[in-house]
Chains A and B, each alone.
Chain A
Amino acid sequence: MSTDSALLAVLLTIVTASTPLLLAALGELVTERAGVLNLGVEGMMVMGAVAGFAVALTTGSPYLGIVASALAGAALAVPFGFLTLNLVANQVATGLALTLLGLGLSGLIGESFVGQPGVRLAKIHIPGLSDLPFVGPLLFGQDVLVYLALALAVFVSWGVFRTRAGLVLRAVGDNHASAHALGYSVIRVRWLAVLFGGALSGLGGGYLSLAYTPQWIENMTAGRGWIALALVVFSSWLPGRLVIGAYLFGAVTILGFFVQGLGVGVPSQLLSSLPYLVTIAALVAISRKRGGGGDAPACLGRSFVPDR
């Protein structure tokens, strides 16, 4: 066994473990930048997973599956948007209800898909480049969603900080009253952000059932939606840091298995709890540095009703 191949296997695994987190967290980042806290990421992810799987299986095309997973995530975000934006319902409670609904609904829809081999999203192959030792498979041999996730991170970063639309988005999230006074439709901007967040969460779920482990089982997101939410805070609502956070988290998870495989007698429960402890530590470190959540959009979680 060469150390190179062991290292490569670990790195490749980290990339696939991190991609669903990155996708979902990017969506939530945009939603939160508009001032909306959607705790239903887990529910939207799992809906994306089942929809992506079902469509890929029935049509035979993983690419249609990808589209379906994004649409399903966005579709589940619709009731959330209506309740929190139009009916000013509490965002925390509505988000939790969304998670519950998504887990239940996906289970019902997916019942007949359990135990069927799925359609795997192929890894790309660029002749020459993908065959390079070590860097080939790592940099030029992933599936399209890995690159899409990274491209979306760049796009979101550019969109939020370099465009007029991004300026409006941030204005709505930081001070909805002034944004409204300036003539922007707070509700409309937030609706778009919520739908975008839903679509990306769905995409993250779709990654699980199309590329990560091409199959459908109930509850297959296994808490990844919550990790995505934590990553958004960890990133201080900055897409660049989000990429680092997602990959770090993936690395900690995989490291646990790696250490076990070496036959070191550490309780596996301790290794399994590492990612959560590291997340807490990271949250503390980040919060401390900026002195108590100063970077959060000021209107995060607050409902807005246009006064008349």
Chain B
Amino acid sequence: MRFELEKRSERSLVMAWASPVIAVVATMITGGLIFAILGKPPLTALWVFFVEPFSSLWSLQELVVKATPLILIGVGLSVAYRANVWNIGAEGQLTAGALAGSMVPILFNSWQSPLTLVAMLVLGILGGMIWALVPALLKVKTGANEILVSLMMVYVAQLLLDWLVRGPWRDPHGYNFPKSVSFEDWQTMPTIGDGRLNIGIVIAVVVAIALAVLMRRTIKGYEVRVMGEAPRAGRFAGFSADRMVIFVFLLSGGLAGLAGVIEVASTVGQLQPNISPGYGFTAIIVAFLGRLDPIGVVVAALMLAVSYLGGEAAQIALGLSDKAARVFQGVLLFWVLACDTLILYRPRLVFGTTPEAAR
């Protein structure tokens, strides 16, 4: 007996819709099994994990707050991955953006104007772009592997941040603790409602819609897809692979930088050694969960936010280890990837001799 794939004559529309559902159900079953092995009541655990985050207005707001950076970074990465360019250093670009944006409140603390926040956001985007340009240019000029260079740049960015907040950018009245001055009201994102929800989510959704339009309705979007799926054909059509690399790195890096500055100007409120619990890496999962589609990424980011908040709730209510949330995310991604195969292929179990051997 052996396992085989048969290519469908065309994309299965049914499966395109059914596969995420199958993946989620399969994840629930796997998750329930893991809970049972850990000695937790599986149904209660699943309930706390997936329903609790929707149980109050407060947690709904927190859900959106958590999803905001994931959406911003995830949509940028989805375009890059569509073009077959592997930026996995978004965490570093996020850090660089946060650093660049924070220059305004730290170095020009007294400048109070409606433009202050705008300047911070623009600098954040530029910071992310500059950091992303390093792997992009090295890839184009020397052919250095962008996966590895962008990843190495993450460590460098984090160490740079560390040095700045422990040294030159330290709050002079902060007893030498590693943190910058706290940002003032006009240096932070305006909030919506009574909690931490802020206009960052509006920006994120607008960006997601804009990129969805870009990918579906413009020549540039077509170019991205062609260069990703059939680079040779793209070159015949006159598209430049090098310029594509630079374009998607600037786009995804700029958006990661924007996410970084929004985070420090909202939930963190200052520059400190830890400004992100790995949003840049989680966003990679978000991009794939969203099937590299900007609108899909928005849904996926919310899903991941649920798994984080649910994980926290389960920790308090059930004493469930925080590691369980990570396993959950890994399992979810596995199932989504596995189920997506069903869209293009029909799996079959073949009995008897293998066709390869018979050939």
A–B contact at 8 Å CB threshold (below): yes
Which residues in B have their C-beta under 8 angstroms from that of A94?
Answer: 334, 337
Size bracket of the A interface = 35 or more
Interface hits, A279-307 → B, CB 8 Å: 279-280, 283-284, 287-288, 291-293, 305-307
Point out the residues of chain A lying under 8 angstroms from B347, CB to CB. Answer: 87
Instruction: Spell out A's residues near B (CB within 8 Å).
Output: 39, 79, 83, 86-90, 92-94, 96-98, 100-105, 107-108, 111, 180, 183, 185, 218, 223, 226, 229-230, 233, 267, 269-270, 272-273, 276-277, 279-280, 283-284, 287-288, 291-293, 305-308
Query: When the two chains form the complex, which single residue of A101, A111, A291, A308 contacts B331, counting CB atoms closer than 8 Å?
Result: A101
Q: Flag if B142 contacts A97 (CB, 8 Å).
A: no
Asked if B152 and A111 sit within 8 Å, CB to CB, the answer is: no
B298-332 vs A: 1/0 string, CB under 8 Å? Answer: 00000000000000000000000101111111110
Q: A292-B143, A305-B7, A306-B356 are in contact. Are A284 and B138 (CB under 8 A)?
A: yes
Contacts of B160 in A (CB 8 A): 269, 273
B330 & A93 in contact (Cβ 8 Å cutoff): no
Measured CB to CB, the closest approach of chain A to B297, in angstroms, equals 14
Are B142 and A288 in contact, CB atoms less than 8 angstroms apart? yes
6 CB-based A-B contacts, threshold 8 Å: A89-B340, A89-B341, A93-B337, A102-B330, A229-B147, A283-B148
Given contacts A94-B334, A292-B143, are A87 and B341 in contact (CB under 8 A)?
A: yes
Q: Which of A83, A272, A305, A307 contacts B337 (CB 8 A)?
A: A83
Assess the A308–B355 pair: CB atoms within 8 A: yes
Residue in A90, A100, A277, A291 whose beta carbon sits within 8 Å of that of B156 in the complex: A277
Q: A87-B341, A183-B359 are in contact. Are A276 and B326 (CB under 8 A)?
A: no
Residues on B with beta carbons closer than 8 Å to the beta carbon of A39 = 147
A293 shortest CB reach to chain B, Å: 5
Q: Name which residue of chain A comes closest to B341, CB basis.
A: A87
For A97, list chain B residues within 8 Å (CB): 285, 330, 333-334, 337
Choose one: A96, A276, A292; the contact of B155 (CB below 8 Å).
A276
* B148–A230 CB distance below 8 A: yes
Q: How far is the CA of A94 from the CA of B326 in the complex (A)?
A: 15
Collect the chain B residues with CB atoms within 8 Å of residue A101's CB: 326-327, 330-331, 334
